[in-house]
A and B are shown apart, each in its own frame.
Chain A
Amino acid sequence: MKTITANRLVDGDVVWLGRNGDWVEFVEAAWILNSEEEMRAAEEFAKAGEASQYVLGTYAIDLELKDGHLQPTALKERIRAKGPTTRLDLGKQAQRLLRSA
């Protein structure tokens, strides 16, 4: 399983490619790519996202299922998906708390 990630140009926020070629703010909403064909289609969206100046630095990352939850495989990508491990009040993890409050 893979998905595509980037940073949003205007604020640098971490985003992932959504199923419709949109860019989503939480990895749970990312488009999960299970085939070469899906990857090729996703890469086209990624190129378009860069061309339209919405995002920069697009690249593919590995995902895995852990305890029933989807998460990036690499620690660096898990930190991007959540926020600093030492500041739970910052990053996606903090926004997630706000959303669920």
Chain B
Amino acid sequence: MYRYDEFDQDFVDQRVTQFEDQVRRRMTGELTEEEFKPLRLMNGLYLQLHAYMLRVAIPYGTINARQMRKLADIARTYDRGYGHFTTRQNIQFNWPKLSDTPKILRELADVEMHAIQTSGNCIRNVTSDQFAGAAADEFADPRVYAEILRQWSSLHPEFLFLPRKFKIAITGAEQDRAAVQVHDIGLQLTQNEDGDIGFVVFVGGGLGRTPMVGRKVRDFLPENDLLAYSEAILRVYNRYGRRDNKYKARIKILVHETGLEELKQDIETEFEATKNGILDLPHNEIERINEYFAPPSFEVLPSISTELESAKRDNRDLALFASRNLHAHKAAGYTSVTISLKPIGGAPGDATAEQMDVIADLAERFGHDELRVTHEQNLVLPHVKLKDVPLIFKVLKANDLADANAGLITDMIACPGLDYCALANARSIPIAQEISKRFEEVKRKNEIGDLKLKISGCINACGHHHVGHIGILGVDRKGEELYQITLGGSADQNTSIGKIIGRGFPEAEITDAVEIVVDTYLVNRLDSEESFIEAYRRLGDQPFKDALYGA
């Protein structure tokens, strides 16, 4: 993975020193809250319901054992013994003291981590496929380009005060696991007829109160134009994006209001002026970054592990785990293991310090010292030998980390909601917990099969409810929490925005309503091969409406 050079380290160290001084001046009153707030936000520090919240960047979700142990240590020393992994592949600590944050950032800098640009109207953490560099279906490792974009966008002087935040996602596989079409810029690695590497470029996707699917602006952007073209998009956005209304300030609104063709023309004009200049990506620089992401030296192994197969025969739980939580690897005899942070009745994305330590140990012992955070709030050991899976499973099981539910209904995304978040209108976590308990039974959830359920506690949609096969949005209706259901959303290569199915349900009824939706699917599907989303697309929403509200 990428390692800081002296420029990176110096830059992050300087930033900590600067923030130390800003915190000192805030505590002595030299800075008012009004003056301090934008400074703390630039360093990932929010004020939430109960305390401050520190959001730490995990670039494209890639992290090593030493860094994970540091996060565990911070959770223990400065927080309440746990952290929350987010849909932006970051981690949030919910209880830090302001006075401790410079120390926390100093400790993070020691392991090449920081919280810069995890908040504010700037280019945020570039997200990617959690199986990048490992997946059998991958065309090229997207993290190379994510890292190049990270370097370009970090403290880019022109783009620190954008009209609104800006999110970029990149995938290198046909199967889009990075939800690129619901990002401000979505990039899909591809190659042209001559075999040259480039990108399909989408602009103006996003969730929030006005969900939109990104529009394609380029079928093929050559690799070396990545930064010049990104700069052109950002420049057009920075110039024309609305600053009069924060709810209309994202680039998706600009695309919508300007029209795709005109905006494309604006971008191309800007690109003409920018390309072949300083932002032209030299091939040797791509090669240099590429080396950081060189795959580990995999052993030559048979594609089927007799050890794993025999252990599966003896252990039904292991067999179930292997059927859901292993992802096909590009190297024979290897796999990527999804570590579910969705135990039955748990808070999606939460991990204790002890669990983080255990996972770090596993990464070191079995996984070439690599871990990933997924945008679905799980963790991944990207490179492990199939024959090591039984032992890994045993360790995970002993630490409440072995839920065999990757991609199932209980593997849901949920934002922190009103239990923590100052913006939320309703709670998300208790709803996730109730639904998870309702579908706890192994046979039943496996019979339901692939189903993405996503819950947000307000219209800002941090829980991605718009792109859930089943989405749940919590709203406040005269002081009571009410939950609306949307159906038919999807965040993969066939991205779609879910439709609100009808009136919302109070807390006490929402789990029953979800169950009715699921049962309606089970009754109406062609066979067990037809997934929920496929069945919904075939059937439309009428059967679900009828089941929920009466014919």
Could you tell me which A residues sit within 8 Å of B by CB distance? Answer: 7, 9-14, 50, 52-53, 56-57, 73-76, 79-80, 83-87, 90-91
- Taking a contact as CB atoms under 8 Å apart, the answer to whether B419 and A84 are in contact is yes
| Contacts of B412-455 to chain A: CB distance below 8 A | 418-420, 424, 427, 429-430, 433
Interface centre among B28, B47, B49, B418 (most CB of A within 10 A): B49
Q: Which chain B residue lies CB-closest to A13?
A: B51
A80 touching B49 in the complex, CB below 8 Å, given contacts A53-B27, A75-B418, A86-B430: yes
- Taking a contact as CB atoms under 8 Å apart, the answer to whether B98 and A53 are in contact is no
**Given the complex of chains A and B, what is the CA–CA distance between A14 and B295 in angstroms?**
48
Could you tell me which B residues sit within 8 Å of A by CB distance? Answer: 26-29, 33, 47-52, 80, 95, 97-99, 347, 418-420, 424, 427, 429-430, 433, 476, 479, 481
- Taking a contact as CB atoms under 8 Å apart, the answer to whether A11 and B97 are in contact is yes
- Taking a contact as CB atoms under 8 Å apart, the answer to whether A11 and B99 are in contact is yes
- Taking a contact as CB atoms under 8 Å apart, the answer to whether B433 and A7 are in contact is no
A9 touching B98 in the complex, CB below 8 Å, given contacts A75-B479, A86-B347: yes
- Taking a contact as CB atoms under 8 Å apart, the answer to whether A10 and B27 are in contact is yes
Residues in B neighbouring A11, C-beta threshold 8 A: 51-52, 97-99
- Taking a contact as CB atoms under 8 Å apart, the answer to whether B420 and A74 are in contact is no
Residues in B neighbouring A7, C-beta threshold 8 A: 47, 51
- Taking a contact as CB atoms under 8 Å apart, the answer to whether B479 and A79 are in contact is no
**Given the complex of chains A and B, what is the CA–CA distance between A90 and B28 in angstroms?**
29
Give chain A nearest CB distance to B403 CB in angstroms. Answer: 18
Residues in B neighbouring A74, C-beta threshold 8 A: 479
- Taking a contact as CB atoms under 8 Å apart, the answer to whether B418 and A76 are in contact is yes
**Given the complex of chains A and B, what is the CA–CA distance between A80 and B479 in angstroms?**
15
**A–B Cβ pairs within 8 angstroms, 5 of them:** A9-B33, A10-B98, A12-B47, A53-B28, A84-B420
- Taking a contact as CB atoms under 8 Å apart, the answer to whether A57 and B418 are in contact is no
12 more A-B residue pairs beyond the given contacts A53-B27, A84-B50, with a C-beta to C-beta distance below 8 A: A7-B51, A9-B27, A10-B98, A11-B51, A12-B47, A12-B50, A12-B97, A12-B98, A53-B28, A56-B47, A86-B347, A86-B429
Which 10 pairs, one residue from A and one from B, show the smallest C-beta to C-beta distance? A12-B51, A84-B419, A11-B97, A12-B52, A53-B29, A56-B33, A86-B429, A80-B49, A10-B99, A91-B50
**Given the complex of chains A and B, what is the CA–CA distance between A10 and B98 in angstroms?**
5
Give chain A nearest CB distance to B37 CB in angstroms. Answer: 9
Residues in A neighbouring B52, C-beta threshold 8 A: 11-12
A90 touching B80 in the complex, CB below 8 Å, given contacts A12-B98, A14-B50, A56-B33: yes
Residues in A neighbouring B28, C-beta threshold 8 A: 53
Checking A13, A53, A86 against B433 with a beta-carbon cut-off of 8 angstroms, the contacting residue is A86
**Given the complex of chains A and B, what is the CA–CA distance between A67 and B476 in angstroms?**
24
Residues in B neighbouring A85, C-beta threshold 8 A: 419, 427, 430
Q: Which chain A residue lies CB-closest to B50?
A: A91
**Given the complex of chains A and B, what is the CA–CA distance between A85 and B424 in angstroms?**
14
Residues in B neighbouring A53, C-beta threshold 8 A: 26-29
Residues in A neighbouring B420, C-beta threshold 8 A: 84
**Given the complex of chains A and B, what is the CA–CA distance between A47 and B122 in angstroms?**
32
- Taking a contact as CB atoms under 8 Å apart, the answer to whether A10 and B50 are in contact is no
Residues in A neighbouring B98, C-beta threshold 8 A: 9-12
Q: Which chain B residue lies CB-closest to A73?
A: B479
Give chain A nearest CB distance to B82 CB in angstroms. Answer: 9
Q: Which chain A residue lies CB-closest to B432?
A: A86
A75 touching B481 in the complex, CB below 8 Å, given contacts A84-B50, A84-B420: yes
**Given the complex of chains A and B, what is the CA–CA distance between A56 and B45 in angstroms?**
15
Give chain B nearest CB distance to A49 CB in angstroms. Answer: 12
Residues in A neighbouring B29, C-beta threshold 8 A: 52-53
Residues in A neighbouring B424, C-beta threshold 8 A: 76
Residues in A neighbouring B27, C-beta threshold 8 A: 9-10, 53
**Given the complex of chains A and B, what is the CA–CA distance between A29 and B47 in angstroms?**
23
- Taking a contact as CB atoms under 8 Å apart, the answer to whether B33 and A76 are in contact is no
Q: Which chain A residue lies CB-closest to B51?
A: A12
**Given the complex of chains A and B, what is the CA–CA distance between A11 and B52 in angstroms?**
7
- Taking a contact as CB atoms under 8 Å apart, the answer to whether A86 and B50 are in contact is no
Residues in B neighbouring A91, C-beta threshold 8 A: 50
**Given the complex of chains A and B, what is the CA–CA distance between A50 and B427 in angstroms?**
30
**Given the complex of chains A and B, what is the CA–CA distance between A61 and B487 in angstroms?**
37
